[in-house]
């Protein structure tokens, strides 16, 4: 069985990294800011304060933790 994946990723033509939480059993998700979709690839759950991260995703991620 697959498990929940989460982390920062660069969807499509995005200039900033966005944070995604992909629920178990799904292969895609929307970013926390709601502006981008993610359909696969690598996610990195580190460097949460990197300057290339989406500020809206950073704020919403902080509220979740």
pLDDT tens for 16-44 read 999 999 998 888 899 999 999 988 788 99
Give the rounded percent of residues in the chain with a pLDDT score beyond 90: 72
Using alpha carbons, select from 11, 62, 17 the residue that is nearest to residue 40.
11
Dihedral, CA of residue 49, residue 5, residue 24 and residue 34, to nearest 10: 40
Tokens of 8: 């920062």
pLDDT at 61: 97
């Amino acid at each position: 069985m697959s498990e929940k994946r989460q982390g920062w990723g660069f969807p499509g033509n995005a200039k900033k990294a966005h944070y995604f939480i992909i629920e178990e059993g799904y292969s895609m998700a929307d970013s926390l800011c709601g502006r981008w979709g993610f359909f696969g690839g690598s996610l990195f759950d580190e460097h949460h304060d990197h300057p290339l991260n989406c500020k809206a995703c950073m704020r919403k991620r902080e509220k979740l933790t």
